[in-house]
Amino acid sequence: MNSKKTFIAAVLVAALPIAALTSCSSDNDEPNGGSAGEGLDNEVVLSMLKGDKDKATKLDEVFIGEDNNFQTADGRDVEFALVTSANKLGSITNIPKSGWAEKVAVRKGYGYVCCNYDHYLPDYDGFSYNYSDFYRIYVEDEMRDTDGKVIGYNIRYQHPFYGKDIDIQLPKDELSFTNKGGTEEVKFLDNEPIYFSCTSSAAWCRVTPSSSLSKSFLTNAVDVSVEASDTVEVSTATITLTTGYGKKKEIKVTRGAAEPRMKLYNNNGSYVTSMNLPLSVSGKDKYVYVNSNIPLEDIEITASDWCEAKLEKNSNYGDGYYQNRYGNYILRITATANETDTKRTGTITLKYRNGDTSVKLNVEQEAQYITMDNGYSEGNPYTTNYYSGSTELYFRTNIDWSDLKVSNSASWLSTSLYGYNSYSDYVRGYVRLYFNSRNNSSSDREDVVTISNKKGTVICKFKVVQSAY
């Protein structure tokens, strides 16, 4: 047996008889849009005193004004439709297609359907859509004071009210879009208002209720909006339509694949398919941003044998203030140290395993070098007078400072590496020459100073001459 609940408005009116405030229960209840003879699960009986919006009895936002009209406060999106054929609440079985107004006269023995469409449901990314909320109302009796003046009405209502329990009839249950996306309206074959909700399984496919009838809240269709695709695979989504009675229908949505795309972000702020990248002599890591719609697992990498390339997702990719938008992937390149006297060149290629889309990175690694600033060498010696003392000679190198050493053989000369400045692709330091004693002989004396890496594979030699006394 269906339960009923009765609500009696609490009103303080002097000299008003109790009988005028007490609602009555009907034995002729019918379910939400169902057949006669069944009870209503959520029927409510309410005594509504009329008046202005601040004093009248409220049914949510609805009240009966002094003009004996159902209405709402200003700015509320609520409309009413009169059902003249109703003789009880259960005989109001459908949502009317016409006759809607913002106000409607209240009459004893008449039925009404009320729609509040000032509601929003959240969707993906903060998007929301409007939905309708229906009531069915039956005015059973007038409420009068001791002088016989009408001061309100006893009503029965049911909320929510879903109208007829019918299936949604779709003209088709599959939609197809190109990779560019688009919009399409699917109008139901029923051609009458249907209370339903709608959801989509994918953020790129949005669905909202719509209407081809006289009022936008009399929904009998859905609008489907599909965003352009940036994926290399066909995308699918499922739209689910659910009536107020829980009956479901599904629409399958297919979106075409986008063309595969892959670009490198270079230093001048543009995207290219080929670029040059100098690597340090030591082989220190470098990275390049890659922007692509190809899944990471579908990108093949080939590289020269002296360097290694690894592609990974850019965890900081996005449009936020502290994010970067240069590329959704990062290509990290590591090389072995170039301990030869020859420049090395190579290529790193990223290619879509299922197509021809690719990008190429031309890498080069200079040979290690050490050069004296003033061109001193064994053939162009540094010459000083016979006095003792010290001096500094500058040199440049692309070898890490910690990997350098200096040596000489003569006891009258001591050498050391002393002080340096680092630049983007080289180091500038100096070697200190300390002449331990005066040259008191009658002939010049000389020594060879050697600056090299610690392995001795890169060498710079220059001659030092201390003149005779």
- Considering the entire predicted model, what is its pTM? 0.70
Helix (H) and strand (E) counts for the chain?
0, 34
Q: Which residues contact 36 (CB under 8 A, 6 or more apart)?
A: 28, 30, 90, 91
Q: Is-contact 292 259, C-beta < 8 A?
A: no
Q: Which residues contact 130 (CB under 8 A, 6 or more apart)?
A: 117, 119, 120, 208, 209, 216, 217
Q: Is-contact 236 270, C-beta < 8 A?
A: no
Cα–Cα dist 413/352, whole Å? 62
Closest CA to 232 of 179, 282, 161: 179
Spatial strand order of the sheet with 299-303 comes to 274-279, 358-365, 344-352, 299-303
Cα–Cα dist 253/256, whole Å? 10
Question: Judging by DSSP bridges, how do beta strands 286-292 and 262-265 pair with one another?
Answer: antiparallel
Indicate the residue type of 61: E
Cα–Cα dist 465/469, whole Å? 12
Closest CA to 262 of 179, 341, 352: 352
Spatial strand order of the sheet with 104-105 comes to 62-64, 69-72, 104-105
Question: Judging by DSSP bridges, how do beta strands 459-466 and 382-384 pair with one another?
Answer: parallel
Cα–Cα dist 20/9, whole Å? 11
Closest CA to 260 of 233, 232, 234, 300: 232
Nearest 10 degrees: Cα torsion 157, 160, 243, 171 = 60
Q: What is the three-class DSSP state of 250? A: strand
Cα–Cα dist 403/453, whole Å? 5
* DSSP letter for each residue of 409-424: --TTEEEEEEEEEE-S
Nearest 10 degrees: Cα torsion 311, 317, 322, 325 = 100
Res 9: pLDDT: 38
First to last CA, the chain: 128
pLDDT in tens, the chain (469 residues): 343 443 433 333 333 333 334 343 444 444 454 433 344 667 899 999 999 989 999 999 899 999 999 999 876 789 999 999 999 999 999 999 999 999 999 999 999 999 998 755 555 444 445 568 899 999 999 999 999 999 999 999 999 999 999 999 999 999 999 999 999 999 999 889 999 999 999 999 999 999 999 999 999 999 999 999 999 999 999 999 999 999 999 999 999 999 999 999 998 889 999 999 999 888 888 999 999 999 999 999 999 999 999 999 999 998 787 778 899 999 999 998 887 778 999 999 999 999 999 999 999 998 999 999 999 999 999 999 999 899 999 999 988 899 899 999 999 999 999 888 888 778 999 999 999 999 999 999 999 999 999 989 889 999 999 999 9
Q: Which domains occur in the chain, in start order?
A: 5-158 (no CATH), 174-255 (2.60.40.10), 262-365 (2.60.40.10), 370-466 (2.60.40.10)
260-278 in b/e form (b: 16+ CB < 10 A) is: bebbbbeeeeebeeebebe
| Count of residues making up the chain | 469
Structure tokens at 198: 């709608």
Question: Judging by DSSP bridges, how do beta strands 43-49 and 5-6 pair with one another?
Answer: parallel
Res 122: pLDDT: 52
Burial of 343 (0-12, 13-18, 19+ CB in 10 A): exposed
* DSSP letter for each residue of 350-381: EEETTSS-EEEEEEEEPPP-EEETT---SSS-
What Å distances lie between residue 107 and 82, 188, 306, 390, CA to CA?
A: 10, 34, 92, 116
Phi/psi for 402 (5° steps) reads -70, -10
Res 132: pLDDT: 82
Q: Is-contact 93 164, C-beta < 8 A?
A: yes
